């Protein structure tokens, strides 16, 4: 169980990191540049509504039943939701605060990381929490369809043997891991951001 659970966690972590990095980047760009937002909005709507199963199957067909295809399928399904949330945050940033920073001629690094980006943290955090729950589910489907290891693969195997006890055992272990991540990482980080602690970063 620990072996398969660790592989699933690895896939979740890598997919989550890629999705958040690209989603935040594209969301900031679309929110900051109206013309780019208008041009990419239709593609974003399509990406949001393409079923996850279709994306998974296409990635496996195009790239083969390899680890990179599994990671890509999960990340592609998550990126559009991150883009939407961050884009909305980029639209409502305090322009007067940005102008003050320009007047005081702060460095580009300080302007972005201490004035602009902290205003997006609540939106990024919301995207992270909602996306993490989505990625867990997609990873299991990815493993079920095209991997020979991981929790999703094990659940599929137990299903074929009608092994209800093992299915429940893996489900319980999976739930415990999710609760630990939520309790020790996501909630403390959420409270920190809610207090405005990011403003002192």
Mean pLDDT of the chain: 86
CB burial of 35-51 (b: ≥16 within 10 Å; e: otherwise) equals: eebeebeeebeebeeee
pLDDT in tens, 108-118: 888 888 888 88
Give 79's pLDDT tier (boundaries 50, 70, 90): very high
pLDDT in tens, 21-39: 999 999 999 988 888 888 8
Dig out the tokens for 156 from the structure. 């599929």
pLDDT in tens, 157-173: 999 889 999 999 988 88
Q: How far apart are CA 99 and CA 50, in angstroms?
A: 39
| Angle subtended at Cα 37 by Cα 56 and Cα 25, rounded to the nearest 5 degrees | 60
pLDDT at 58 over 70: yes
Please give the model's pTM, rounded to 2 decimal places.
0.84
Second-level CATH architecture of 2-200: Orthogonal Bundle (1.10)
Q: Parse the chain into domains and list their residue ranges.
A: 2-200
Q: How far apart are CA 19 and CA 25, in angstroms?
A: 10
């Amino acid at each position: 169980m620990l072996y398969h659970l660790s592989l699933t966690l690895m896939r979740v972590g890598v997919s989550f990191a890629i999705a958040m990095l690209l989603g935040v980047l594209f969301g900031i760009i679309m929110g900051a540049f109206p013309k780019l937002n208008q041009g990419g909005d239709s593609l974003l709507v399509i990406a949001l509504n393409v079923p996850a199963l279709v994306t998974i199957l296409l990635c496996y067909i195009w790239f083969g039943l390899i680890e990179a295809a599994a990671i890509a399928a999960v990340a592609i399904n998550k990126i559009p939701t991150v883009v939407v949330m961050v884009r909305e945050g980029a639209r409502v940033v305090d322009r007067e605060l940005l102008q003050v920073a320009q007047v005081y001629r702060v460095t580009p690094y300080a302007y972005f990381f201490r004035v602009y980006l902290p205003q997006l943290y609540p939106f990024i955090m919301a995207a992270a929490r909602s996306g993490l729950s989505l990625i867990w589910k997609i990873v299991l489907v990815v493993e079920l369809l095209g991997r020979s290891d991981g929790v999703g693969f094990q659940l599929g195997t137990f299903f074929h043997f009608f092994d209800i006890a093992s299915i429940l055992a893996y489900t319980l272990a999976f739930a415990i891991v999710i609760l630990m991540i939520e309790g020790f990482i996501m909630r403390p980080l959420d409270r920190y951001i809610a207090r405005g602690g990011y403003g002192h970063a």
